[in-house]
Amino acid sequence: DIQMTQSPSSLSASVGDRVIITCQASQDISKSLNWYQQKPGKAPKLLIYDASNLETGVPSRFSGSGSGTDFTFTISSLYPEDIGTYYCQHYDSLPRVTFGPGTKVDIK
Amino acid sequence: QVQLQESGPGLVKPSGTLSLTCAVSGGSISVNNWWSWIRQPPGQGLEWIGEIFHTARTNYNPSLRSRVTISLDKSNNQFSLRLNSVTAADTAVYYCARNRPNSGTMFDIWGQGTMVTVSS
Cβ-Cβ contacts under 8 Å, B100 against chain A: 46, 49
Name, in order, each residue with C-beta under 8 angstroms of B65's C-beta and a sequence gap of 6 or more: B50
Angle at B70 between CA B89 and CA B26, to 5 degrees: 110
pLDDT band of residue B31 (cuts 50, 70, 90) is confident
Tell me the pLDDT of chain B averaged across its residues: 95
The pLDDT value given to residue A93: 78
Tell me how many helices (H) and strands (E) chain B has.
0, 11
Q: Does A95 touch chain B (CB under 8 A)?
A: yes
The pLDDT value given to residue B103: 81
User: What chain A residue is nearest to B107 in terms of C-alpha separation?
Assistant: A46
User: What chain A residue is nearest to B59 in terms of C-alpha separation?
Assistant: A95
* A47 burial type by CB count under 10 A (0-12 exposed, 13-18 middle, 19+ buried): buried
The pLDDT value given to residue A21: 98
Q: With an 8 Å Cβ cutoff, are B110 and A44 in contact? A: yes
Cβ-Cβ contacts under 8 Å, B107 against chain A: 36, 44, 46, 89
Peptide bond into A80 cis (omega under 30): no
Angle at A32 between CA A27 and CA A38, to 5 degrees: 105
Peptide bond into B9 cis (omega under 30): no
Rounded to whole angstroms, the Cα distance separating A78 from A68 reads 27
The pLDDT value given to residue B105: 86
Rounded to whole angstroms, the Cα distance separating B60 from B64 reads 7
Smallest Cα–Cα separation from B19: which of B88, B90, B77?
B90
Q: Does B43 touch chain A (CB under 8 A)?
A: no
The pLDDT value given to residue A97: 93
Q: Does B57 touch chain A (CB under 8 A)?
A: no
pLDDT band of residue B104 (cuts 50, 70, 90) is confident
Q: With an 8 Å Cβ cutoff, are A46 and B106 in contact? A: yes
The pLDDT value given to residue B63: 94
Rounded to whole angstroms, the Cα distance separating A87 from B71 reads 28
What SS3 state is found at A55? coil
CA atoms within 13 A on the CB side of B96: 27
Average pLDDT estimate for B48-68: 94
pLDDT tens by residue, chain A, 108 residues: 889 999 999 999 999 999 999 999 999 999 999 999 999 999 999 999 999 999 999 999 999 999 999 999 999 999 999 999 999 999 887 778 999 999 999 999
